Amino acid sequence: HPPPVATSREEQRRRLQHRPDQPRSPRALRIAIIGAPNAGKSTLCNQLLGRKVFPVSKKVHTTRCKARGVITQEDTQLIILDTPGLTNPLKAKRHNLEEAMLTDPWDSMKHADLVLVLVDVSDHWTRNALSKEVLRCLARFPHIPSVLVLNKVDILKKKFLLLEIVTDLTEGIVNGKKLEVKSAFKNDSSSSAKSALQISQCSPPESRAPESPCGRHTGQAQEGSALANSSAGGASKSSPGTGEAQRPKQYGPKDLRDMKGWPHFQEVFMLAALHGEEVDTLKQYLLMQAKPGPWEYHSNVLTSQSPQEICDNIIREKVLEYLPLEVPYGVTQVTEMWEEGECGELLIVQNLLVPRKSHMRMLIGRGGKVISRIAQEAGQDLMNAFLCEVRLKLSVEVK
């Protein structure tokens, strides 16, 4: 079971500064998760961690700063770098976003051993091409191994479209080898993508013997399964990438202009992060990719965030969820009380400041229903993070 987050800032600081309890042969891996806003990065992080510590909402830019999650399993430690969705200065200005929203994803890439590129396949406007911001990010750090993760496959009714999406987003190449994709679909719209794809990887035609068939992987490419050089399920022990995949060429602005996908992904995974479907397959793969090296954190650390940051983020998540359009982005949060009660429960009082009376009416709701629901749901999530009773009270004022 993942450890709970400390309920006091001082205790959390002590945990973060505590010397790691290194095993005899420690292994570690730093993972940056990047993608367009609302692709499901924080949902995936929470599922990998096994506890909700990152905010999740249907609205874009719920994650406002980079934060780390820590998975410690036996002799291996994974450091997950959850980052804001890659955006541009124009969109950042529209949503009143901090400067860090533009720089944090790039900063996370600098420190990563592996990059997960998350794509929402339920969005038919964007699913067949990586955003220019994501491509620029990958092109700037081509030496860092990257993995494509297709998210929300449970929502996609026409599963055969996954064949086209994989080909587009990988430019038809995974781990330096050309993909031949054969459909195993009937024309049904079952909710699961299991047994969805069969992938053949072919060596270049000139290097193949006249009668020899393509080397076909026996593992089915299910949700969560890798579509590249690996055993079934995608958790092979082989070092990531060989040949072309390890030495991608340098790409200039002109090259990126004509590209829809990235031809240097080493694996492709399909999953439904919200429901946890096939997330464990990806997690096992990540654990296998860890390299010998010291741990960064003690095993009782789950996240680098302070308890107050987790609280603010989860309350803001609910505000984003229940307020329309741009309204939530103008809400300021002020914590009035944070203390432990007589029975060990955590007492939190927070004031939400809004710029207009109309916003205040929306946030309170008729008969106080909206603000009560926000407090109730946020309190439940905080209990999951801290593993203790939480009493949360929210008030609303005009700035």
- Structural domains present in the chain: 9-181+252-292 (3.40.50.300), 307-398 (3.30.300.20)
Instruction: Give me 131's structure tokens.
Output: 């955003």
CA distance linking residue 171 with residue 205, whole number of Å: 18
pLDDT of 281 > 50? The answer is yes
pLDDT digits 0-9 by tens, 195-231: 344 444 444 434 333 333 333 333 334 444 455 443 3
**Considering the entire predicted model, what is its pTM?**
0.80
pLDDT in the model for residue 84: 63
DSSP letters spanning 280-316: HHHHHHHHHH-EE---SS-TT--BSS-HHHHHHHHHH
**Residue 255: per-residue pLDDT:** 79
Supply the pLDDT for residue 207. Answer: 39
State the chain's mean pLDDT as an integer. Answer: 80
8 A C-beta contact, residue 12 and residue 6:
yes
Mean pLDDT of 140-150: 94
Q: How far apart are CA 42 and CA 69, in angstroms?
A: 10
Determine the pLDDT at residue 165.
96
Q: If pLDDT is split at 50, 70 and 90, which confidence band does 179 have?
A: confident
pLDDT of residue 215: 32
Please state the φ and ψ torsions of residue 337, each to the nearest 5 degrees: -145, 140
Residue among 299, 298, 291, 297 at smallest CA distance from 27: 291
Helices (DSSP H) in 161-257: which residue ranges?
161-170, 253-257
What is the enclosing helix (H) or strand (E) of 118? Answer: strand 114-120
- Name the 3-class secondary structure at 30: strand
